[in-house]
Amino acid sequence: MSDRLPGFSTLAVHAGAQPDPTTGARATPIYQTTSFVFNDADHAASLFGLQSFGNIYTRIGNPTNAVLEERVAALEGGTAALAVASGHAAQVVVLQQLMQPGDEFIAARKLYGGSINQFAHAFKSFGWNVVWADPDDVASFERAVTPRTKAIFIESIANPAGSITDIEAISTVARKAGVPLIVDNTLASPYLIRPIDHGADIVVHSLTKFLGGHGNSLGGIIVDAGTFDWSTGGKYPMLSEPRPEYHGIRLQETFGNFAFAIACRVLGLRDLGPALSPFNAFMILTGIETLPLRMQKHCDNAKAVAEFLAGHPAVAAVNYSGLASDKYNQLARKYAPKGAGAVFTFSLKGGYDAGVSLVSKLQLFSHLANVGDTRSLVIHPASTTHSQLDDAAKVKSGAGPDVVRLSIGIEDKEDLIADLEQALAA
Amino acid sequence: MNHDAYPDNYIRGILNSVKSIAMVGASPQNVRPSYFAFKYLAQRGYDMIPVNPGHVGKDLLGKPFVASLSDIGQPIDMIDIFRNSSHIMPVVEEALTLDPLPKVIWMQLGARDDAAAEKAEAAGIKVVMNRCPKIEYGRLSSEISWMGVNSRTLSSKRPPAPTQGMRLSLNRMSVGGGETAASDRAAKNKTERS
């Protein structure tokens, strides 16, 4: 009962989890059930009316998922979280709470290629209009603000080149515009960067990457910082106005500083349906217990590999913000002092063909479309993750034709370097 | 008391010690926050008294409405005020005429009146502002964790299987919040701006 604050590693193991009341099970059980029995009719009505805490149906909430939600909320320093089926699902659910048809949101141009597609095409068909800005030019965000702007979206460490975003500077723009700042913290994980400490109002993750960490389970999560006042000016009616779905409840008034997470659950997840499997939640929770150990090893290995590549005669350039010579090194020192992440790109003097040859010769690195696995991964973004973009957009997002992306795993760094060395030879 | 960021032990001490709670502004409408809180606190074993002059003659979950605090006719441990900030002072002034005095005056989420708090504290009454006792009870017991909310507590103890109407243990280890929480800092900045 002391007020001593436990550290990050303690929270990574304990937050949200306690022994199971019924069986005493110490590991979090997998509650693989669709539904939960009500005590009586009044209990059922209380749960459906949001008057009581409890479980109804796994599309709205599940006890295994709830442990995952509280754990990530604790690690990020938020008030609450909502786990969903994927990182993409998290983005749909977040924006559904904020956007009406015809509204705009500003997004950094340097994003995961899948997010660029989702924003530019799928969301456009909902009438949610993305306006692109350059994360290296904060003024471009300011210029993009209009009366219809409802949110700003950035990545803390941007895919694919691992560049670092100046979260505090962009949060100042968001505050001035009176809109929430949404930060995708997938590539950093809260071990390296806690965006809420730098002014983020909402944090989203693909849990599939470093948080789960083992490349075995998809998942996404939304963390509510509890910092944004949704009540002003009727700008966010999902939160501030009486909701007909719940007989006129106003979510902000009822749930205070975790109202956004509740809106995502009871208006987003309930009605759009991208629920996370409790089995995946269990796998991801197990991964999170070792997040601090893995993430440090990922970063240390990535730095060693980036240094090796920077000194190799076949390499034209390495984009890793952990290198002292990198354009983003100052920002990396400020925002991610423990390490600059483990996803970065480099380009080969031999261009596109040399990239294809490298990928085919690697023995340890796996050629696939994921990042944040224990295993080291390699991909050629221009022909895969970013292939739907036109050539100019590819270059702007850091995925030009000569660029190879690596996600460094937790193997022995000497073996990773030896693998790259043999593949670059010849 | 610093009313921007309460230590968990302060809230825990209040919720563990009070038995009777008069709720000023309790609503019989089942979508109002006061109804939620009234029902939950009754389920957790508190002796709840609804105070609302507009509903005298009716009852709330079996408890008859009274018109005002002075109509209660029994000592009250805590007064929970579900009114806007601008309507707090008269309620606190009425509370200060009670004999014996209440031990705690609690103002709901969104409600804050520092002058009223100062008056109550000068009379030896503990004050909580801009919080919800249902949320705080749910948080400290971790029952609110079912909703993905960060309880900011940890425990390695096996809790009893919860049954209806059971009091829950609030004695878990606190892991931050108050001045360490971004949400509380945001609330404080908002107070300072207004």
- List chain A residues with CB under 8 Å of B12: 1
Give the closest-approach CA distance of B180 to chain A in angstroms. Answer: 9
Query: What is the arithmetic mean of pLDDT over B166-181?
Result: 83
Work out how many CB contacts closer than 8 A connect A with B: 150
Distances (CA, A) of A211 to A12, A163, A204, A378, B66: 10, 20, 12, 19, 53
Count Cα atoms within 13 angstroms, Cβ side, for B174.
21
Three-class secondary structure assignment of A101-129: CCCEEEEECCCCHHHHHHHHHHHHHCCCE
Element (H, E) at A170: helix A167-177
CB atoms within 10 A of CB B110: 17
* pLDDT for A68 beyond 60: yes
pTM of the model: 0.94
The DSSP letter of residue B11 is: H
Give the per-residue pLDDT at A1. Answer: 45
Residue A220: how many other CB atoms lie within 10 Å? 26
Residue of chain A whose Cα is closest to the Cα of B8: A3
Tens digits of residue pLDDT in A79-101: 999 999 999 999 999 999 999 99
Residue A67 to residue B154, Cβ atoms within 8 A? no
Mean pLDDT across A50-62: 91
- DSSP secondary structure, A246-289, as one string: GTTB-HHHHHGGGHHHHHIIIIIIHHH--PPPHHHHHHHHHHHH
Report chain B residues whose CB lies below 8 A from the CB of A24: 158
What pLDDT sits at residue B95?
Answer: 97
Averaged pLDDT for residues A141-157: 98
Closest CA to A394 of A406, A381, A405: A381
Q: Do A20 and B30 touch (CB under 8 A)?
A: no
Which residues on chain A are in Cβ contact (under 8 Å) with B183?
78-79, 225-227, 257
Look at residue A318 and tell me whether its pLDDT is greater than 60: yes
Task: Give tens-digit pLDDT for B126-171.
Answer: 999 999 999 999 999 999 999 999 999 999 999 887 777 788 889 8
pLDDT of residue A113: 86
pLDDT at B105 over 50: yes
**A152 pLDDT above the threshold of 80:** yes
Query: Residue B192 above 80 pLDDT?
Result: no
Q: Are A282 and A66 in contact (CB under 8 A)?
A: no
Q: What integer is the mean pLDDT of A15-40?
A: 95
User: In sequence order, what E strands does B35-180 have?
Assistant: 47-51, 59-60, 63-64, 78-81, 104-107, 126-128, 153-154, 173-174
| Res. A385: pLDDT tops 80 | no
* A44 or B116, higher pLDDT: B116
